[in-house]
Structure 1
Amino acid sequence: MTSADAATVRGVTSDAPADGLGGLPPSPAVWCSGLRKRYGRRTAVDDVSFTVARGEVLGLLGPNGAGKTSVIKMLLGLVRPDAGEVLLLGRRSSDPRSRAAVGYLPELFRYQPWLTAAEVLDLHVKLAGAEVAPAERRECLALVGLAARAGDRVGGFSKGMQQRLGLAVALVARPELVVLDEPTSALDPIGRVDVRDIVLSLKSRGVAVLLNSHLIGEVERVCDRVVILDEGRVAASGTLAELLGQREVRLRLAGSDARAEDRMRAAGSMARSGDWFTVQLSSDDDGVTVPDLVRDLVALGVRVHAVEPVRISLEERLLAVLRHEEPAP
C-alpha cells in the first residue's frame, strides 16, 4: 500500500476534522499496512497489508503458524506490532474508542463456569458500556440457539454450546465490525450452517466481518474476498473470482452442428472431445450465459444430455499457493 493510499485512509478517519468530510465515503472497517511482529528469532508476521470494507466478509486463510491469529491480535490491540499501522472503523488502533464497536470471538476462550449464559451476556454488555435492552440480549441468545439455556450455568455447557455463547458475546453490543477466529471449530454441521447464516445476515446489514477459519468450504460460501497468509506474509489475496480464475462449463450434446458450435464459441472459447464440449466463461459472468446458451442450443435442435460447471475450488487454489504451484486448469 502506497503512502498516498495511507494518506487517503487517514483523511477519512474519525479523528479528522468534520469540515469538508460530509461527501466522502466511510473509511474501511479495517485498514492495516506493513504489519510486522517477531517473537525472539522467529518472524511471525512480515509486512502484512489489507483492508476490510464496510459490509464485506473477508476470509483469512493459511496453514497453522502462518500468522493469522497474530494478525488478528495486532488489529485488536491485544499484541503490539513491531512495525506497521492499523485503523479500525476510521480510528487508530491506539485509540480505545476504535474497539468500541468491534465484536470479537477469539479462538480460545473461557467463561466463568458459575455464571449462566444470560449473566455472561449481562457482564459483557456492562464491560462494553453498551446500551442493550434485556429483550435484545435474549434475542441474541436465541440467534445462536441458546434461548432455552439462558438460565443454565456455563460450567455444564458442551464445547459447541460454549462456542455459540462466545458468538452471542461477540454480537450482543451491535458491532459494526465482527472478528471471528475459528468460529465453527467446535460446532456440528447444523451449528456451522447457523454461523454461516449469521455471517450473511451481518453482511446484509452492512456489518464487516473478518473470518479466520480452516473450514475452506465455509469461507468459499460466505466470503467476498480472501487473504492467504503463508509464513507470516500475504501469499495471495483477492475476490473469489480473481483467485479461482476462469470458469468453464462442460456440455454433453447430441445432434450438434456448425451452427451450434458457432453459438458456443460466441459464449467463450470452446474445445470438443467426442460428445463433450467445454466452453470457457468470463470470470465476471453474471449467471445468465449458461442458461441462455442451453436455451439457444435446444432451439437449434440440439439435445442437451448434461451440463456440468467446472471451476477450481478454493481448497485447490490454497494448496497451489502454499506449494508454490500453478493451480490445476
Structure 2
Amino acid sequence: MKITAILTTAAVAAALCSCAGSETADTENGRIQVYTSFYAMYSLTSEIAGDKADVYNLCPTGSEPHDFEPTASDMAKLADADVFIYSGMGMEHWTKSISESLSGSDVIITEASASVPNTPENGDPHVWLDPENAYAELEAIANALTEADPSNSGYYSERLEDCRQRIDELDKAYEDAAASFASDIIITSHEAYANLCSAYGLTQMGINGVDNSEDPTPSRMAEIENFIKENNVKYIFTEPLSTSKIAETISSDTGCGILSLDPFEGNAEGKDYFTVMYENLDALKTALS
C-alpha cells in the first residue's frame, strides 16, 4: 500500500487555527458532529447515532482508506467536530497524524478496534468482518457518543442493544452456512478476510497478501492457477475497490467463475454493514456449497 504524508506540520497547524473560535455546527441543530475515517466506520457509527448525531465520512466514495490523504479542509472540519472515530490496527495509517494534530483539543478520538476480542495472527486490520469484532467496535462507538452527548445515553444504549440482537442473528447465519460448506478454502484478490475466516473455520488463499498494492508474481499466479485446477475450485473472489483484470486472467486460464466479496472498505452504494455481510454470505454459499 502506498502511504504518503498527509499534511505538513505547518499545514495542520494552519488548518486548526483557521477554525479556532468558530461556531461549532452542533449549535445549529442540537446534534453532535461525528466524523469517521472510512465507510465501514461510518456505517457502524450510523447504527448507533440514529437521529441524535450528524455523521460524516472522511474517505470519499471509491477511495481506498489505506491510501486516503486528508486535506487541510478535512482537518479544519475535524477540529470543529465532537467525535472522530477510526478503526485502527493500521487500517488507516493517516489517522496517526490526525490524532497527534488533535491532541489537546476537545475532540473525542476513538480507536474502535482497541477492544476487539479476536485478532488474526497476520495482523489483518479488517476486524469488522468478524461479527463479534464488529460488535466490539459498536460498543466503542456507543461509548464515544455517550461521552460526547450524555443526555442521549439511553438512546445510544438502546440502539447498541438492538445491534447486539442483529449481530447474533448474523453470526448464527454464518455458522449455520459454514457447517454445510463443501469446501473451506476461498481464493481472494488479497488477504483481507483473516477475521472472517478465523470466525467460521475457513482458509483464505490470497492472490496478493494483506498488501494489495502490487500485482502477483508469475510464480504466484501459477501457484494459484494450479491449486484451482487440482482442487476443482468453482469461484474466485474480487472486491469492489480492486481491479478485476488479474481475476479475469485466472478465470480465463482455469475456467472458474468470479464473485464479489466485499471487505466493506468503500461506499457500498449506500448499503449498511448488515446488508453487505449478508450479501457476502450469499456469495460464500454460492462458491463453497
Normalised by the shorter chain, which TM-score bucket? under 0.3
Larger Rg: 1
Hey, which of these two has a bigger chunk of helix by percent?
2
* Normalised TM-score (structure 1): 0.24
* Normalised TM-score (structure 2): 0.27
Hey, which of these two has a bigger chunk of strand by percent?
1
